[in-house]
Structure 1
Amino acid sequence: MGGWLDLAEAQAQLLALAPKMPREEVAVEDALGRVLADDLAARRTQPPADLSAMDGYAIAGNGPWQLVGESRAGAPFEGAIAHGEAVRISTGAHMPQGANSVLIQENATRDGDTLSAEQTPEPGRHVRRRGFDFGKGDQLLAQGTVLGPGQLALAIAGGHAVLPVAARPKVAVLDSGDELARDATNVRDDQMPASNGPMIAAMLAPLIGSAQRIGPVADDMGALAEALANAQDCDILITSGGASVGDHDLVQDALREWGCEIAFWKVAIKPGKPLMVATRAIGGRRQVVLGLPGNPVSSFVTAYLFALPLIRASLGIANPLPSPQQRIAGEVFPAGGPRREFVRAISDGEKVMSAASQDSSALGSLALANCLAEREPDGCEVAEGEPITVYTLQNGGFAWL
C-alpha cells in the first residue's frame, strides 16, 4: 500500500531496534512485575522429605496399629516405626521412617493407643513424595518470565531471596500540540485537555513504573527542541501528536535536528496510520523514538500494538506481541477497507460487539472497550455467529504485561 508498512513488518522492524536492558538484582519482595534476566534454578528440594498430605495417622503395614508418637509440621517424629505401628501426623509433617501411607482421620477408629480401620490405605496414599514439586538444580523459571505472585512464591520456595531481573528502561512520554491544555479544569473552547500523555504513561506503568512526562509542548521548533533536550537520558522516547507532515506537524523536523534518523513512518492500520519510528545514537548507545498519532484512540491503539511490545522486548520478555484470541461475533462486522482495522469492542468472553462510535477521537467507546476486534485488509463481512479475532485489553485493569 503506497509505501506504507503492514502491521507485522512494522512491528518486526521496531522490535529489532529495542534497546536491551542490563541485568540487575532486586529483593524478591520488590520483584513483582519484573522480568527475569536469567534462568532460575532451585537451590533446594521441595518438599525436602516425604510429607503427609492430610491430617491423620502415618502407618506401617496392616492394622490394627499401636500409636507410638506424633509428627507435626516443624517437629518430626524421631526414629522409625515398625510393622503394626503408627504415629499421629498433621498435614505437611514429615513421614516417619518405615511409614508407607496415611490413614486419614475420618477413616480411623481409635481406642486409647490402639488404631484400626475398615480398610488399609494403599502404599503411598496421601503422601507427598520428596521432590515431587522440584529438586535442587531443577529449572524453576525461564529467562524472560514476568514475575507475578505465583512466580515469586516459587522462587522463594526454591531458596531465592534475591532475583536477577532486567533493568527497567527509562521512558519519556512527550505530547505536543497548540490545542492541548495542561489543566483539565481550565480549557478554552479552542482547546482540549491533554489526555494522551497520562494515558500512555498509565499503560506503561505496570512494565516500567513511572515514565518521565514532558509537555504538552507547543507546535514550535524552539519549544520542541527544549522538550527533547529534557529527554536526553531516556532509552525510549514516545511522542504523541505532530508526527505527520502537515504545516504544523513539526515533530519529525525537530527529531532530525536533535540527531534522529527516521526508520519508517506510516503503517497500514486504522486507527493509527501516521506512526513513526526513529533512532538516535548518543554516547555509544541508541535511543529509540516512537511517534504516535495525536488522536486519543489512535494513540491508545498504537501504544498497545507498538509501545508495549517495544518495552516488553527491551525487557527480554519472550513473546512481546499481544496474543490474538478467537471469539464469536455477536453482530455483523462490516467488510474491511484497505487498511487492517482494530475495532473497539466489548466481549463477554464468548461473543463480541462493537463499542459505539469508532471515531478516532471518541474516548467514550474506548473507556467501554475491553478488546480490539481485528479486521483484515479488504476482509469480507463477518456475520453474527461467525468467528472473529480479538486482542483483549482488560481496559480498566493493569494486565498489560
Structure 2
Amino acid sequence: MIGFDEALAILARSVTALDSEIVPLDQVAGRFIAQDLQARYDAPRCDVSVMDGYAVRANSAGQDRPLQLTSESRPGAPFAGHVAESNAVRIFTGAPVPKGADIVIMQEYAQASGDTVRFSEGWGPARHIRRKGSDFREGERLLAAGARLTPQAIIAAAAADRAELDVAHRPRLALIATGDELVPPGEAHRQPLAQPDTASHAVAALASRMGAELVLHVRGRDDREALATLAAQALEVADCVVVTGGASVGDHDHARPMFAETGMELLFSRIAIKPGKPVWFGKAGSKPVLGLPGNPGSALVTARLFLQPLLAAMQGGDPMAQIATMPLRLGADLEANGSRETFFRASATPQGLVPVSNQVSGAQAVLAEASWLIRRPPHAPAASAGCLVEALPL
C-alpha cells in the first residue's frame, strides 16, 4: 500500500487540464478561470464619498459659521466645480468628491437652513472618502488562472468589467456503480435482497458541485463482460470515468478488470487510509479512471479526497489546494488512531468538531450530520476535547 500524499501526488501529475471556452459572466458560477484576469481601470475611478453628507474643506468646517451650499454631487452626476473655503456641496454615497473638498461630513452632524449649512461638534476625524484606486489599480491581477469562480470571485470578475470569461471546459463524467444488489433508490423496498444505490448518487452530487457534467450514470451487475461493455461506452462519451464498488480482489470484483481491453494503465491501488483502502486510479489513454469503494461512507470520503482534486486539476485548478487542512478545535474526545491514516467524519458544533457516532464505512444515516473530515496520522494518540486537530470541509 502507498500513503495518501503519495497517491494524491501521482494523481495530480497524471492529469492534464482540459481546453477552455468563452462563457457569459452569468454562466460561470463554479467554473475555473483559464487565464489571469486584470482590471481594466482603477477602482474607484476617482475619490468617492462613502456617506450621505456634505463635501467641504476640513479647516472651514471647524469654524463657527455657516457655509454656503453651492450644488450637489450624485453618483453619475458629479459636481464639476471647485469647493471653496466658504462653500459646501451636498453629496451622496458613491458620488465623486469635488475638487477642493477633503472631507465628507455625515448629514447627522449638519443643520441645513435654506442655502447654508453649519456643523455640530463630533463630525471628525473620519474623512468618509474612498480614495481613487484604493480597491485595485488598472492592470492589477484580480483573479489568477485556475481560480474557482465562487460568488466572491465573480464579484471581482465583474468589477474587472468583464462580460465574458475564459473558463475551462466542464469535465464530462461517466459514473458506473457496480454490484448485483444495487437498484435505483425507490425500488429496494420491493426486493428483499436489494440495496438502494446511495454511493453513486453522493459521488454524482460532489462531481456536480465541482463543475463536472454527468454524461453517463449507470449501474452494472457483477459480470465482467457486461461491465467491460459499460467501460468502453463510458470512455467513448466522457473525459473522466468513476467506478464505485468492485474494488477489492474477490471473484466478483471486476472494477479494474473491466478496463483490461481499453489498455488502461493502473497508476496506484490500495492506499493506507481509513476509510478507502481499495481506492485505485489509472489512465485509459489520456482519460483518468478512478475506482472508489462501494460502501457509502467510504465512497463519499474518498470522492472528496481524490475525485474533487482530480476534477479541479482537469479544470486548471490546484489539486493540492482541495485537500488543504486547517487547525480546528475538537468538541469531544477522539480515540487513538490505528496503523492507517484516518479521516474521521465529524459535525461542526459551537464547542468544536464532534466525530459522528458511527464511523463504519457502511453507515449512512450519520453522513447527514457530517460536514468535516478530521485528518489523523497513523498511530496518533487519543485527543481530548479542546485540542486542535487538522480538518477539511467534507
| Alignment map for 1:18-97 (pairs within 5 Å) | 18-60=15-57, 61-63=59-61, 64-97=66-99
Tell me the alpha carbon deviations over residues 40-99 of structure 1, each in whole angstroms, 9 at most, x when there is no partner.
Answer: 101122111211111111113515321111111221113223221121111111222222
Post-superposition shift, 1:260? 0.7
Post-superposition shift, 1:350? 4.2
**CA distance in 2 between partners of 1:103 and 1:381 (Å):** 59
**CA distance in 1 between partners of 2:15 and 2:213 (Å):** 19
Tell me the alpha carbon deviations over residues 220-243 of structure 1, each in whole angstroms, 9 at most, x when there is no partner.
Answer: 122112211221132211100112
Partner of 2:290: 290
Which residue among 135, 138, 142 is the counterpart of 2:137? 135
Partner of 1:398: none
**CA distance in 1 between partners of 2:142 and 2:40 (Å):** 10
Partner of 2:256: 252
* SS of match in other structure, 1:137: coil
Tell me the alpha carbon deviations over residues 274-326 of structure 1, each in whole angstroms, 9 at most, x when there is no partner.
Answer: 11111111xxxx01100011111111111111111111122222343322232
* SS of match in other structure, 2:72: strand
Tell me whether 1:10 sits opposite 2:7 in the alignment: yes
Contact 1:332 1:381 in 2 (8 A): yes
Tell me the alpha carbon deviations over residues 134-156 of structure 1, each in whole angstroms, 9 at most, x when there is no partner.
Answer: 12111111122211222222222
**CA distance in 1 between partners of 2:350 and 2:269 (Å):** 35
Partner of 2:377: 376
Amino acid at match of 2:103: S
Tell me the alpha carbon deviations over residues 1-44 of structure 1, each in whole angstroms, 9 at most, x when there is no partner.
Answer: xxx00111011111111231112111111111111111110112
**CA distance in 1 between partners of 2:117 and 2:330 (Å):** 62
Contact 1:174 1:239 in 2 (8 A): yes
Per the alignment, do residues 136 and 104 of structure 1 end up closer, same or farther by CA in structure 2, a change over 3 Å counting? same
Tell me whether 1:262 sits opposite 2:266 in the alignment: yes
**CA distance in 2 between partners of 1:382 and 1:120 (Å):** 53
Post-superposition shift, 1:374? 2.5
Tell me whether 1:239 sits opposite 2:243 in the alignment: yes
Post-superposition shift, 1:123? 9.0
% identical aligned pairs: 38
Partner of 1:224: 227
Per the alignment, do residues 337 and 124 of structure 1 end up closer, same or farther by CA in structure 2, a change over 3 Å counting? closer
**CA distance in 1 between partners of 2:385 and 2:102 (Å):** 59
**258-267 or 107-116, which moves further after superposition?**
107-116
Post-superposition shift, 1:349? 5.2
* SS of match in other structure, 1:321: helix
Amino acid at match of 2:246: G
Per the alignment, do residues 223 and 378 of structure 1 end up closer, same or farther by CA in structure 2, a change over 3 Å counting? same
Partner of 1:356: 357
Partner of 2:280: 276
Tell me the alpha carbon deviations over residues 81-131 of structure 1, each in whole angstroms, 9 at most, x when there is no partner.
Answer: 322112111111122222222122111222321222245967981222222
Amino acid at match of 2:39: A
**CA distance in 1 between partners of 2:332 and 2:73 (Å):** 62
Contact 2:55 2:105 in 1 (8 A): yes
Amino acid at match of 1:255: F
Tell me whether 1:306 sits opposite 2:306 in the alignment: yes
* SS of match in other structure, 2:132: coil
Contact 1:339 1:376 in 2 (8 A): yes
* SS of match in other structure, 2:213: coil
**302-311 or 88-97, which moves further after superposition?**
88-97
Tell me whether 1:171 sits opposite 2:173 in the alignment: yes
Partner of 1:397: none
Contact 1:171 1:211 in 2 (8 A): yes
Partner of 2:155: 153
Q: What TM-score comes out, normalization by structure 2 length? A: 0.92
Question: Aligned pairs, how many?
Answer: 386
**264-273 or 345-354, which moves further after superposition?**
345-354
Runs of 5+ consecutive residues of structure 2 not aligned to the other structure? none
* SS of match in other structure, 1:251: coil
Tell me whether 1:207 sits opposite 2:210 in the alignment: yes
**CA distance in 2 between partners of 1:52 and 1:357 (Å):** 56
**216-225 or 204-213, which moves further after superposition?**
204-213
Per the alignment, do residues 76 and 357 of structure 1 end up closer, same or farther by CA in structure 2, a change over 3 Å counting? same
Post-superposition shift, 1:245? 1.5
